[in-house]
Amino acid sequence: MSFTIHGTGICGGIAIGQALLHSHTRLEAGHYLLPRAQIAEELGRFDAAVDKTRSEFKTLRDNIPSNSPPEFEAFIDVHMMILNDSTLSKVPREIIEREQCNAEWALKLQSDELLAQFDAIEDAYLRERRADVFQVVERLMHALGGQPRYVPDIVDTGQSKILVAHDLSPADVLQFKQHQFASFLTELGGTTSHTAVVARSLNLPSVASLHYARSLIYENDTLIVDGTQGVVIVDPDPQVLADYRLRQHQNEIDRKKLRRLRTTRAMTLDGTGVELHANIELPDDVAEAEENGASGIGLFRTEFLFMNRDTLPNEEEQFEAYRQVVESMHGLPVTIRTYDLGSDKNIDGADRSALQNPALGLRAIRLCLTEPRRFQIQLRAILRASHYGNTRLLIPMISGVNEVDQTLHQIELAKQSLRAKGIPFDPQIPIGGMIEVPAAALALRMFRRKLDFLSIGTNDLIQYTLAIDRTDDSVAHLYDPLHPAILHLIALVISSANRTNTPVALCGEMAGDVHLTRLLLGLGLRQFSMHPGQLLAVKQEVLRTNLSSVRLLARRMLRIADPERMQSMLERLNAD
């Protein structure tokens, strides 16, 4: 039976394919032995987790939205039954006692055993129950306080597989780059989480906030993903499928047409040149930036070099990665951002989600300044790469003058250490700051002269100004780039930078949204940096824009408070 699930589109376009449930992966749990005296306590901990999971199911069943598919209640009942079965609620207790191990490990041993039994079943229907068992185990694991961590077991997916996951970390998505999925669907997540940012960089139609998707979708179900509308159609009727295939084909034709603009200079109708740069996560992404005619790399998110590995990249490895990017851009500018780790991008197994407000904690430049040794390694590597091409160094999450001073001091120390060893670098390497904390935008006057360029990170600027956690899907609907406070801050930064002839770019997700191109041009922005896949559509918009006619309207939009009027004004700005 065909049905539709609604979520939040995080990357536009249409994908059609078969569902691959991410829960069909291995669950990892720590293993430790307990003294005999602690066994009773551990059993109590396990029982409490079972009770907690049971009451979660009960709450879910009591609060089923009236528009949910009728199967939903049955799903919850099946999960309740699985939980209450002695294979899950009793056998792990016996393992804890017998092996004297922690509850997570006992649960893992038992779930491995159960899942292996399901794998051996011939009957397709019964085999599908494996996903249900896994989901219950996963909830139990969560209730035990452990964060279930998934290790993908996916080897060869093929283009038409659509990954359906509860949640994915940015590192997970990065790892999936090699698996060639047609689309990503997640039950959690908002539009500007780093996970969404990486998914968008893969240019795959994707939808987040699809609550209960993994309960409603079965392995190998045929899915249509409409990333623009944020909708997933499960098991579509043949007529609907044919219609979407046609639309998919039309999108492909439009994309091919856009490719003709690859070498066209980005210039408005009245002759103002605009720089369109690419955001990249890994050195190999440069190929896509070139294919889409990027006139530079506006943001190299170097923290992705640090992920999905056991040891940190040393100076040599980092230097090679940066040099590769700089050289392959053949003299075009490459903006390397020092690592922005912390918050939702962690390494070292450091799980900062346990903190109450990880996004307000030790993140980005704050983290770098507390770990000067690690920071020096990266600074030296970037400086060394600057010898091989047009390199710029960008500092993330500046919040005030002190951080600018401390960072400039660190850069000076790195330069001195290279000089002492006679290692070449560009002594004039431009140093820029990201404006993504409202305090930095408001206090820009105090430090803009210390920097050579600025880059507005609207993903974080929106998160911190509107107080909405980028990773929390329950507040994703409040994400509003047209909020008057956001437009004012952007306009303030652009005009303040222009006053001192400080080059200013915008590298958050707003830069790649064609609906906002004219507005940003009208506010004085001349440098945009975005995912390579968005470049040509934005270029087309630039080529169609007459600056003199959008300037006035864009300024007027700064005075509008009512969201509906704002929307109709935007439509006026984008008309013709």
Cα distance between residue 112 and residue 104, in whole Å: 12
Cα distance between residue 464 and residue 354, in whole Å: 20
- Please, which residues bridge with residue 279 across strands? 299
458, interface contact from Mg ion, ligand PEP, none, CB < 5-8 Å by kind: ligand PEP
CA dihedral 86, 89, 95, 96 (to 10 degrees): -150
Six-digit token pair at 207?
A: 């939808």
Quote the least distance from Cβ 198 to Mg ion, whole Å. Answer: 13
Quote the least distance from Cβ 154 to Mg ion, whole Å. Answer: 29
**Nearer Cβ to ligand PEP, position 9 or 457?**
457
**Nearer Cβ to ligand PEP, position 16 or 451?**
451
**Nearer Cβ to ligand PEP, position 101 or 505?**
505
Which residue from 102, 459, 465, 471 is in contact with ligand PEP, where contact means CB under 6 A?
459
Cα distance between residue 215 and residue 495, in whole Å: 50
191 scored as a contact of ligand PEP (CB under 6 A): no
- List of E strands, 396-502: 431-435, 453-456
- Please, which residues bridge with residue 208 across strands? 8
Which residue from 507, 520, 536, 542 is in contact with ligand PEP, where contact means CB under 6 A?
507
CB count in 10 Å sphere of residue 120: 7
Which residue from 197, 282, 307, 550 is in contact with ligand PEP, where contact means CB under 6 A?
197
102, interface contact from ligand PEP, Mg ion, none, CB < 5-8 Å by kind: none
399 scored as a contact of ligand PEP (CB under 6 A): no
**Nearer Cβ to ligand PEP, position 93 or 345?**
345
The angle at the Cα of 330, spanning 537 to 260, to the nearest 5 degrees, equals 30
Task: Kindly indicate which of the ranges 10-18, 58-66, 451-459, 478-486 contains the residues binding ligand PEP, using the contact rule CB under 6 A.
Answer: 451-459
Quote the least distance from Cβ 37 to Mg ion, whole Å. Answer: 48
Q: Which of 166, 194, 277, 531 is catalytic?
A: 194
Quote the least distance from Cβ 268 to ligand PEP, whole Å. Answer: 24
Is residue 344 within 8 A of residue 195, CB to CB? The reply is yes
- Residues between 298 and 317 with contacts to ligand PEP, criterion CB under 6 A: 299, 301
Buried b (16+ CB within 10 A) or exposed e, 218-251: ebebbbbbbbeebbbbbbbeeeebeebeeebeee
Is residue 507 flagged as an active site residue? yes
Quote the least distance from Cβ 387 to ligand PEP, whole Å. Answer: 26
**Nearer Cβ to ligand PEP, position 436 or 473?**
436
Question: Which contiguous run of DSSP H or E holds residue 20?
Answer: strand 14-21
460 scored as a contact of ligand PEP (CB under 6 A): yes
340 scored as a contact of ligand PEP (CB under 6 A): yes
Is residue 21 within 8 A of residue 217, CB to CB? The reply is yes
187, interface contact from Mg ion, ligand PEP, none, CB < 5-8 Å by kind: none
In this structure, is the dihedral angle defined by the CA atoms of residues 52, 56, 61 and 63, taken in order, positive or negative?
positive
Quote the least distance from Cβ 381 to ligand PEP, whole Å. Answer: 19
Quote the least distance from Cβ 508 to Mg ion, whole Å. Answer: 7
323, interface contact from Mg ion, ligand PEP, none, CB < 5-8 Å by kind: none
Among all chains, which residue has been given the structure tokens 């004012």? 488
Contacts of 258-263 spanning 24+ positions with Cβ under 8 A? 258/536, 258/537, 258/540, 259/536, 261/293, 261/536, 261/539, 261/540, 261/543, 262/291, 262/292, 262/293, 262/536, 263/293
What DSSP state is assigned to residue 159?
A: T
Quote the least distance from Cβ 459 to Mg ion, whole Å. Answer: 5
Q: Which residues bind Mg ion (CB under 5 A)?
A: 436, 457, 460
- Please, which residues bridge with residue 456 across strands? 435, 506
- Cα dist from 77 to 62, 118, 121, 217, 488, whole Å: 12, 20, 22, 16, 51
Which residue from 293, 432, 508, 532 is in contact with ligand PEP, where contact means CB under 6 A?
508
197, interface contact from Mg ion, ligand PEP, none, CB < 5-8 Å by kind: ligand PEP
Number of residues that bind ligand PEP (CB under 6 A): 11
Six-digit token pair at 494?
A: 């652009």
89, interface contact from ligand PEP, Mg ion, none, CB < 5-8 Å by kind: none
458 scored as a contact of ligand PEP (CB under 6 A): yes
3-state DSSP assignment of residue 190:
coil
Distance between start and end Cα atoms, the chain: 42
User: Which residues are catalytic, by number?
Assistant: 194, 507
What residues make contact with ligand PEP under the rule CB under 6 A? 197, 299, 301, 340, 436, 457-460, 507-508
